[in-house]
């Protein structure tokens, strides 16, 4: 399991060394965002709406201001008026006006938990008391939670000025539908007419949450000269800087964002909810201010993943070739327009060679918190529908479900998801590995069923900066702007050590603040090991070039006669007797041979490749109660090449289990008044340790030729297949197809009962 065996040809890539930040994290020394303390810091708190939809008539803060110990109060009036501007946050995009309104309601509250005012006080107790003294006069409006109801012409309107984009001619009336998208290929009706078997169904699931264990928290300190510090946990300090500066209308260079250790994000920490508010409280009070969410606030007022309602019709020939797919997707994006169905469109069908398809999609706004990225954002929802239907089709045709997928799987050279052609993808290899896995042929017990599903995720590249420098003893400092959310310091150190041919322990990695390193996109999109890794490798290669030049100078030979290997410069000039200069000796003399040796690489690669995964699940269903047990689970994935094998497996296992939770129990539940009824870990049921078996992983390695070590992104695709994998297994075990998530005991029981 843990043996540090390197792949042939590599000295570090594929090994499993201890992470460089490990000891801090097992001894309680690591500083996460709720741990950070600034001198003289005040404690902030946010007043949140108890109504899902209401007009704010007035806010009276006078009593709260009079409370001793209260130092600042902020409402929407303190936020500048913004012009419409689309901004990208890495895995999601949005209008800066909406980013601002997620920090503080302006005019209307749009969901239960929407922020309406904030206080900074000398203690948390005083801040909490002050919130009770703020009087908000609400005009409560009718609310809408359900997708179908929100799409009705007479539905309560969240945004009076919102008309549907993507419809021609442009609608003249506002609606709750911000986006319509479509894409077609061939004649679906004709193709389905020729099909030997057709499966048709409606699939649905409610909103779910990333469920990171660390609630959002930050400390902001904004000085009178306009310069500010923000300490927070984020997947992207540069996103925090850009969004905070944009929301407040100030210069980005005036804000230094220091990313503290981050307690999970899964896409959910690629935006701001607290930072601009803490900044305003700090400016008003003249002191650093901490804002930290409670768990309840996280569930009520951060960005969940969309719920969906999907109608899907699919047909195939008698020998299992897919003829056509007719797909209608409605994504509940919460209170603000967001990137929902747009991603659904490119993650739905492109892993199979459909002769024809018609895809239509709508985003729908409702009185729930606005969605944000969650691990392969918006892909698991549509994949659940597609892979459930494929499974039904396979059984209908009497074809093995993996075999049917193999018959239709895309291969290198097939059309890409967003244009171009597919590169060295490993889909077929994953399907073959699944078919050959002992799990797939193992016998099943009573009341058990086996499910399988396949998925892809587009992955991402994008901008990253890395700096590499030598210490005088030849040890190596790597600095990046990519927060380490799951062991990426270790993978950066491995790639630097591999490039420089030096021991792993000689490389130390720092995650820098926004003033200490150039722009890097978020840790997200499965891009960090790939893109930031490329920057690290490129900077390390520059370091090698410099060291070779220094060695050439020291030897008095041409640089062309110097090679690099085994952590040392090697003189190729026969006259010099194959002399060698180790990195330590070059470093020791660097300030006499031309100065400090350091290099920075700025990259913006887009030669990433999509990731594919195939999962197998055995479930056991109690026919009397509808309770499901996950008996066995295997996740197979093309990882390109694993840099740190343990953290690669860990991503696959963690993603699979999040997906299992999504399939079985996780759901936002709203009461009749439109309030979130389960804003805690007791009733928002993420999987606990005893719910699960071991998660077996198979890492298929089909290297990405565009990455020096073959990296493809691994972090996101593992959450995509589990929804259908589990649903297929449960449907098989229960003897009845279930098309709605979660597969809670009462739902499974009802399905069993209804089949009679």
Partner 1 sequence: MTKQFVTTTVNGDTAEFICEPGESLLDALRGRLQLTGSKEGCGSGDCGACTILLDGEMVCSCLVFAAEAEGRVIETVEGMADGSVLHPVQRKFLEHAALQCGFCTPGFLVATKALLDHNPDPSEHEIRYWLAGNLCRCTGYDKIVRAVQDTAREMRNERKTA
Partner 2 sequence: MPQPGYHAPETVQQAIALLSKEPGARVLAGGTDLIVQMRSGRIASPLIVDLKRISGMIGIRASGDGFAIGAATPCTALKKDAAFAAAWPGVVEAANLIGSVQVRNRATMAGNLCNASPAADSVPALIAAGATCLIAGPSGERELPVEQLATGPGRTGLATGEFVVELRLPARPKGGGDAYLRLIPRTEMDIAVVGAGAALVIDAAGTCTAARISIGAVAPTALLVADAGAALVGSKFDDAALGRMGEAVRAACSPIDDKRGTISYRTDMAAVIARRAVAIARQRAGEAN
Q: How far is CA 682 from the centre of its chain?
A: 24
How far CA 324 is from CA of 315, 318, 357, 380, in Å, comes to 6, 13, 5, 21
Residue 696 sits at φ, ψ, to 5 deg, of -70, 140
Q: How far is the CB of 746 from partner 1 (least distance, A)?
A: 21
Binding partner of residue 749 among partner 2, partner 1, none, CB under 5 to 8 Å per kind?
A: partner 2
> Which residues, including other chains, have CB under 8 Å from residue 142's CB and lie 6 or more apart?
53, 156
In whole angstroms, give the CA distance from residue 620 to residue 732.
9
d(CA 373, CA 375): 6
> For residues 708 and 715, which CB has a smaller minimum distance to partner 1 in the complex?
715
- Find, among 373, 508, 529, the residue nearest to 464 by Cα: 529
Q: How far apart are CB 629 and partner 2 at their closest, in Å?
A: 8
Query: Binding-site residue total for partner 1 (CB under 8 A)?
Result: 60
Would you count residue 447 as binding partner 2 (CB under 8 A)?
no
Residue 750, binding choice from partner 2, partner 1, none, Cβ under 5 to 8 Å by partner class = partner 2
What does 338 bind: partner 2, partner 1, none (CB cut-off 5 to 8 Å by kind)?
A: none
Of 100 and 744, CB closest to partner 2: 744
Instruction: Tell me the C-alpha distance between 255 and 53, whole Å.
Output: 34
Reference 240, options 263, 223, 217; nearest CA is 217
Residues in CB range of 240: below 8 A, 6 or more apart: 230, 232, 234, 257, 272, 275, 514
Q: Tell me if residue 586 falls in helix, strand or coil.
A: helix
How many amino acids of this chain bind partner 2 (CB under 8 A)? Answer: 25
Asked if 152 interacts with partner 2 (CB under 8 A), we say no
Which one of residues 556, 578, 682, 754 is an interface residue with partner 1 (CB under 8 A)?
682
Instruction: Compare residues 458 and 751 and give the one whose CB is closer to partner 2.
Output: 751
Token pair in block for residue 101: 């309104």
**3-state class of 573 per DSSP?**
coil
In this structure, how many other beta carbons lie within 10 angstroms of the beta carbon of residue 66?
Answer: 10
Q: Are strands 464-470 and 598-603 parallel, antiparallel or unpaired?
A: antiparallel
Contact region for partner 1 (CB under 8 A) — 180-188, 255-263, 376-384, 502-510? 255-263
Smallest gap from residue 128 Cβ to partner 2 (A): 8
Q: How far is the CB of 674 from partner 1 (least distance, A)?
A: 23
Q: Are 587 and 696 in contact (CB under 8 A)?
A: no
Q: How far is the CB of 319 from partner 1 (least distance, A)?
A: 38
Contact indicator for 610, 422 with CB cutoff of 8 Å: yes
Choice from 3, 575, 682, 694 touching partner 2 (CB under 8 A): 682
- Give the CA distances from residue 589 to residues 45, 64, 470, 570, in Å, rounded to whole numbers and listed in that order: 54, 64, 11, 17
- Which of 44, 178, 215, 451 contacts partner 1 by CB under 8 A? 215
Among 75-83, 219-227, 362-370, 685-693, the segment contacting partner 2 (CB under 8 A)? 685-693
Q: Which does 126 bind (CB under 5 to 8 A by kind): partner 1, partner 2, none?
A: partner 2
Q: Give the alpha-carbon dihedral of 19, 24, 28, 34, to 10 degrees.
A: -90
CA atoms within 13 A on the CB side of 737: 18
Q: Is 177 in the site for partner 1 (CB under 8 A)?
A: no
Binding partner of residue 744 among partner 2, partner 1, none, CB under 5 to 8 Å per kind?
partner 2
Which one of 296, 424, 600, 740 is in contact with partner 2 (CB under 8 A)?
296
120 touches partner 2 by CB under 8 A: no
Q: Is 567 left (phi over 0), alpha (psi -120 to 50) or beta?
A: left
CB atoms under 10 Å from CB of 513, counted, come to: 17
> Mapping DSSP to helix (H, G, I), strand (E, B) and coil, where does residue 565 land?
strand
740 touching partner 2, by CB under 8 A:
no
Q: Minimum distance from CB of 124 to partner 2 (Å)? A: 11
Q: How far is the CA of 353 from the CAs of 183, 321, 405, 409, 459, in angstroms?
A: 15, 9, 10, 6, 20
413 binds, among partner 2, partner 1, none (CB under 5 to 8 A by kind): none
Residue 667 CB coordination number (10 Å) = 20
Comparison of 26 and 224: residue with beta carbon closer to partner 1: 26
Rule CB under 8 A: say whether 161 interacts with partner 2. no
Listed ranges 301-309, 317-325, 467-475, 652-660: which one lies at the site for partner 1 (CB under 8 A): 652-660
Stretch that binds partner 2, among 121-129, 188-196, 240-248, 533-541 (CB under 8 A): 121-129
Question: Residue 656 CB, nearest distance to partner 1 (Å)?
Answer: 6
- With CB under 5 to 8 Å by kind, the binding choice for 665 among partner 2, partner 1, none is partner 2
* Residue owning tokens 């297929």: 728
Q: Which of 252, 646, 678, 740 binds partner 2 (CB under 8 A)?
A: 678
Is residue 749 involved in binding partner 2 (CB under 8 A)? yes
User: Does 620 interact with partner 1 (rule: CB under 8 A)?
Assistant: no
Do 604 and 463 contact (CB within 8 A), yes or no? yes
Taking CB under 8 A as the rule, which mask of x and - marks residues 551-570 in contact with partner 1?
--------------------
224 binds partner 1 (CB under 8 A): no
Interface with partner 2 (CB under 8 A), residue from 691, 701, 736, 740: 691
Tokens of 722: 């589990």
Q: Which is nearer to partner 2, 5 or 683 (CB)?
A: 683
Question: What is the C-alpha separation between 756 and 750, in angstroms, rounded?
Answer: 10
Residue 669 in contact with partner 1, rule: CB under 8 A: no
Strand order in the sheet with 197-205: 179-185, 356-365, 322-334, 307-316, 197-205
Stretch that binds partner 2, among 91-99, 249-257, 411-419, 662-670 (CB under 8 A): 662-670
To partner 2, the closest distance from the beta carbon of 665 in angstroms equals 5
Identify residues 28-87 at the interface with partner 1 (CB under 8 A): 28-32, 34-35, 37
262 contacts partner 1 (rule: CB under 8 A): yes
Query: CA-CA distances (angstroms) from residue 484 to 264, 432, 529, 719?
Result: 10, 33, 10, 20
Residues 620-649 that bind partner 2 (CB under 8 A): 624-625, 627
Binding site for partner 2 (CB under 8 A): 125-126, 129, 296, 624-625, 627, 664-665, 669, 677-678, 681-683, 685, 687-688, 690-691, 744-746, 749-750
Binding site for partner 1 (CB under 8 A): 1-2, 16, 18-19, 21-23, 25-32, 34-35, 37, 125, 210-215, 261-266, 294-295, 485-487, 644, 646-647, 649-651, 653-658, 680-682, 686-690, 692, 694-695
């Amino acid at each position: 399991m843990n043996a540090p065996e390197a792949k042939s040809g590599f000295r570090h890539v594929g090994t499993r060394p201890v992470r460089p930040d490990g000891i801090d994290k097992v001894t309680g020394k690591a500083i996460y965002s709720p741990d950070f303390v600034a001198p003289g810091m005040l404690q902030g708190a946010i007043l949140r709406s108890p109504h899902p939809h209401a007009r704010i008539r007035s806010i009276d803060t006078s009593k709260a201001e009079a409370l001793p110990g209260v130092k600042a109060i902020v409402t929407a009036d303190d936020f500048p008026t913004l012009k419409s501007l689309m901004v990208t946050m890495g895995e999601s995009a949005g209008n800066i006006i909406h980013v601002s309104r997620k920090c503080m309601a302006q005019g209307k509250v749009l969901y239960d938990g929407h922020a309406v005012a904030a206080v900074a006080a000398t203690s948390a107790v005083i801040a909490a008391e002050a919130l009770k003294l703020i009087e908000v006069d609400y005009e409560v409006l009718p609310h809408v939670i359900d997708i179908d109801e929100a799409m009705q012409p007479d539905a309560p309107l969240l945004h009076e000025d919102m008309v549907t984009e993507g419809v021609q001619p442009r609608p003249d009336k506002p609606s709750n539908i911000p986006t319509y998208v479509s894409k077609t290929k061939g004649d679906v009706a004709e193709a389905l007419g020729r099909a030997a078997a057709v499966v048709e169904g409606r699939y649905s699931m409610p909103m779910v949450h990333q469920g990171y264990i660390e609630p959002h928290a930050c400390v902001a300190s904004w000085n009178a000269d306009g310069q500010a510090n923000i300490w927070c946990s984020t997947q992207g300090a540069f996103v925090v800087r850009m969004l905070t500066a944009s929301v407040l209308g100030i210069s980005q260079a005036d804000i230094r964002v220091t990313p503290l250790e981050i307690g999970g994000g899964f896409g959910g920490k690629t935006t701001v909810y607290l930072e601009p508010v803490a900044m305003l409280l700090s400016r008003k009070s003249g002191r650093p201010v901490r804002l930290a969410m409670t768990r309840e606030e996280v569930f009520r007022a951060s960005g969940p993943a969309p719920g969906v309602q999907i109608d899907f019709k699919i047909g195939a020939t008698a020998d299992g070739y897919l003829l056509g797919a007719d797909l209608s997707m409605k994504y509940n994006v919460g209170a603000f327009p967001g990137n929902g169905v747009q991603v659904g469109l490119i993650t739905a069908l492109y892993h199979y060679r459909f002769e024809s398809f018609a895809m239509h999609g709508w985003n729908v706004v409702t009185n729930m918190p606005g969605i944000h990225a969650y691990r392969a954002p918006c892909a698991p929802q549509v994949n659940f529908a597609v892979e459930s239907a494929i499974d039904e089709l396979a059984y209908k045709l009497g074809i093995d479900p993996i075999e049917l997928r193999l018959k239709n799987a895309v291969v290198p050279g097939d059309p890409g998801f967003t244009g171009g052609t597919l590169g060295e993808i490993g889909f077929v290899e994953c399907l073959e590995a699944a078919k050959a896995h002992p799990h797939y042929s193992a016998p099943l017990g009573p009341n058990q069923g086996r499910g399988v599903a396949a998925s892809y995720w587009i992955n991402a590249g994008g901008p990253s900066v890395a700096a590499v420098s030598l210490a005088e003893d030849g040890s190596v400092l790597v600095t990046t702007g990519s927060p380490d959310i799951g062991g990426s310091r270790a993978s950066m150190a491995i790639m630097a050590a591999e490039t420089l041919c030096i021991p792993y322990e000689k490389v130390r990695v720092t995650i820098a603040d926004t003033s200490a390193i150039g722009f890097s996109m978020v840790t997200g999109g499965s891009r960090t090991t790939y893109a930031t890794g490329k920057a690290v490798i490129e900077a390390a290669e520059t370091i090698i070039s410099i060291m070779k030049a220094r060695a050439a100078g020291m030897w008095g030979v041409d640089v062309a006669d110097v090679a690099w290997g085994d952590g040392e410069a090697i003189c190729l000039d026969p006259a010099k007797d194959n002399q060698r200069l180790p990195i330590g000796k070059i470093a020791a003399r660097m300030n006499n041979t031309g100065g400090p040796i350091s290099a920075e690489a700025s990259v913006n690669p887009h030669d990433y490749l999509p990731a594919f995964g195939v999962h197998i699940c055995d479930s056991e269903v109690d026919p009397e109660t509808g309770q499901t047990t996950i008996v066995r689970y295997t996740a197979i994935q093309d990882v390109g090449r694993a840099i740190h094998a343990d953290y690669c497996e860990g991503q696959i296992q963690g993603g699979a289990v999040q997906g299992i939770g999504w399939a079985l129990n996780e759901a936002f539940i709203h009461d009749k008044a439109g309030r979130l009824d389960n804003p805690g870990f007791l009733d928002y049921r993420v999987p606990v340790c005893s719910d699960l078996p071991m998660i077996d992983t198979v890492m298929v390695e089909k290297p990405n030729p565009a990455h020096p070590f073959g990296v493809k992104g691994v972090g996101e695709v593992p959450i995509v297949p589990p929804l259908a994998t589990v649903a297929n297994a449960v449907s098989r075990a229960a003897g009845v197809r279930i098309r709605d998530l979660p597969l809670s005991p009462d739902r499974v029981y009802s399905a069993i009962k209804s089949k009679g």
